[in-house]
A = this chain, B = another copy of it.
Amino acid sequence: MKLMRTTAPESVLELIKKHFQPLEAETIPLEEAAGRVLAEAVCAGADIPGFHRSTVDGFALWARESFGAQEGLPAIFEYGGEIPMGRPAPELQRGQCYLIHTGGMLPPGADAVAMLEYTALLNKQVQLFRSVAPGENVIHKGEDLRRGEEALPAGKKLQAQELGLLASLGAAAVKVSRLPLMGLLSSGDELVPHGTASLPPGKIRDSNTLSLASLGQKYGAGVLVGDILTDSFPVFLEKSRELLNRCDFLVLSGGSSVGSRDFTARTMEALGPPGLLVEGVSIKPGKPTLLANSRGKPVLGLPGHPISALIVFSLFGEAILRRLSGREAEPFRPSVRAVLLRNLPSPGGQTEYVRVKLAQTDGRITAAPVFGRSGILSTLTAANGFLIIPAGTEGLVEGETVEVFLWE
């Protein structure tokens, strides 16, 4: 048998970064920008806020006139009236103060706000029982962002808080990387479309297409699904070429037999130049993973087993879509810490992904490995996360605290 030349998973990630580039930018309305990635930095077009604002409900005044005020010796101000929200404030005269609400505009001449609880309003006079420092309870014009200052860098994914910041800047449209379009081809003579009601003998329903399409969308791709390929090299090549022409990234979810894998590898090589970059990865499961470059477009060949296919796609499919959309890798990966319920020896030459079921028992979180032979689908949903045994280690020991990553 021909031995597979395997690449370490870290090297696969480097190859992805080296061989593929972010897609071109497009300008879209801010309302449609959730989840998209900025193609260029956004700067503030004006000072934010555009005026001195109060951060509390209270009285706007000139701080110097409050100095020395205390419980038994209040400072006295003439009450000028209420500053309505969203309106320009009248100018503050010496000895005056104005009632102001949180977010209200300070009157010209005022430099601080005294909180309501330290004051008393009586007969058009306001008594203040504490001195107030200049700038107290005030956000100054431009304190949040100065005109021209960078508000968000290129490569930033636009989530709720970024959208809020852009909205406050008045950005009606944003320049983002185009959404990658991912093509998806399943292959195998044994497969029938998943909607098939009654199965002919020897056939099974295609489950990978729907799983991978939903993951692709989750990772920010549009998805184009092609036909199920029959096990024939000319069919593989023609259909792959055709779909790759219409998209930015092609995923081949191959059959699991050696022959079918061979078609996939030959097809991916023929789609070059430069062709195949990776013909096996030192991870378990997921070793028979293929990666090719077809004139700048990535092509990913997944292992046939559904579990391996999902794990591999969540590693490398995600990295490819991230790269195409110009987003930097998230450097921090959250995990749940749990007590491992049994020994997990590892041969050590490959990075292992072990599915586990987390449970809360007696006030501690435990992780029980879920074993299931490849091809068994029901174990797919029995695990709620996985742990990683790095290459070059001997495995994990029962009772050890391990980091479990949840299925995203």
Query: Interface residues, chain A, CB within 8 Å of chain B?
Result: 1, 30-31, 34, 46, 48-51, 53, 55, 57, 84-89, 101-105, 116-117, 139, 143-145, 151-152, 156, 159-170, 172, 188-191, 194-197, 199-212, 214-215, 217-218, 231, 255-260, 304, 306, 310, 331-337, 358, 360, 365, 373-378, 380-381, 384-385, 404-407
The CA of A116 and the CA of B197, in the complex, are separated in Å by 34
Given contacts A86-B188, A336-B332, contact A101 B257 (CB under 8 A): yes
Given contacts A85-B231, A105-B202, A208-B164, contact A139 B55 (CB under 8 A): no
Is A1 touching B117 in the complex (CB atoms < 8 A)? yes
Contact of A102 among B143, B256, B406 (CB under 8 A): B256
29 A-B residue pairs with Cβ-Cβ distance under 8 Å, sorted by A, are A30-B195, A30-B210, A49-B204, A55-B373, A85-B188, A85-B189, A85-B190, A85-B260, A86-B202, A86-B203, A87-B201, A87-B202, A89-B202, A101-B256, A101-B260, A102-B258, A103-B188, A103-B256, A103-B304, A145-B377, A159-B407, A163-B210, A167-B194, A167-B211, A168-B306, A168-B377, A332-B365, A332-B384, A332-B385
A103: chain B residues at CB < 8 Å are 188, 190, 204, 255-257, 304, 375
The 4 closest A-B pairs by CB, nearest first: A101-B257, A334-B334, A167-B194, A164-B211
- Closest-CB distance, A300 to chain B (whole angstroms): 15
